Structure 1
Amino acid sequence: MVTILPRKRQNIPAVILAGGRATRMGGRNKALLTLGGETLLQHVITRLRDQCGEIALNANADPDLFADYGLTVLPDTFPGFPGPLAGILAGMAWARAQGADAFVSVSVDTPFLPLDLVHRLREAAGRHGIALAASSDETGRMRDHPTCGLWPVALHDDLALALESGLLRPGQYAAAHDPGRAVFDSRPVDPFLNLNTPADLSAAARVL
């Protein structure tokens, strides 16, 4: 069942990144895969909806597939399926059109997102306005999660130039702009656990 989105508590918009080809999932549409009876997209909406303003979906599939969710669907504005950085660029353009000065991006394959993600990212913003989520792995090493971040719309043209130059990794782009970091506890489950393969989906079902 699709949940109708209620009025949001905060006005910063969010974009769910689902524009990839999901090759390790056999090309299946990640957003519409089910976990515990709900699609991954619905899980992410549920985690986000009380944290932010309007939510949009970056997707390159037929928008009609997502009609029941009531989200604005943003295809990549940069050609060739270059990855999540193109989705972030599309999100910047959309958020700027909403009159926002920044937006939060998350990946559609992260169904356990923190319920205070948006607040923590805003508090952690670096001097250029970027903040990334981070958590520790099983060895205690800190890892950034660049698809879960805060992005100022003022960087739109700069990011477009970076993509045109061949830069594709969100973390690499963020690193050049002195990002802040919002560090989250990864116990008992890393909230940024992402589902790239059918085995990951099965493991997440056991966690759920």
Structure 2
Amino acid sequence: MSWLASYLENVDHFPSSTPPSELPFERGRLAVPPAPSWAEFLSASTSGKMESDFALLTLSDHEQRELYEAARVIQTAFRKYKGRRLKEQQEVAAAVIQRCYRKYKQLTWIALKFALYKKMTQAAILIQSKFRSYYEQKRFQQSRRAAVLIQQHYRSYRRRPGPPHRPSATLPARNKGSFLTKKQDQAARKIMRFLRRCRHRMRELKQNRELEGLSQPGLAT
């Protein structure tokens, strides 16, 4: 950079220009210089001093190469700086995007697990309700068949003709028969009460199923 040092040393010897404050202005516009000033400028331009001053401003091939290399180094450093900043910004943006995606994925998985748990719970409640109603209905049918069978046997027993009247010696047997008849009557009454309770229970289960069907319309699907 010897040329730059020599240029800075000789810059004070260059022809001084007229300060801006000394230029003739008139109402913000440049005034036309007089004829002697033009003649002085033209004579100075044809003199060798101005040519030598302009020659100092020209650069040699070596100086031009140095200037080009310096500009190239500055451009390379600036591009690296811009590239590094851009890369840092891209890394920060990628980290933010990854963090948001992980959080979204985690929330989606939690929501999916909760929905699956809710569906499984509703399905278990429905299966239990159906099984209870099926079990109660089966017990009711068995009890009804047993009651009908007992009633048939009891009626056939009541319609059977009794033995002829015998002396008082057969009184214990008659008392025994009446005792059995009373026991059968009590058993039949108990069975009828049980059947009534079963019917009442079946009506309650049916009402509960209807209420569950109204509150959970899309559960069966």
TM-score (norm: length of structure 2): 0.15
Which structure shows the bigger proportion of residues in strand conformation? 1
Tell which structure's C-alpha radius of gyration is larger: 2
Which structure shows the bigger proportion of residues in helix conformation? 2
TM-score (norm: length of structure 1): 0.16
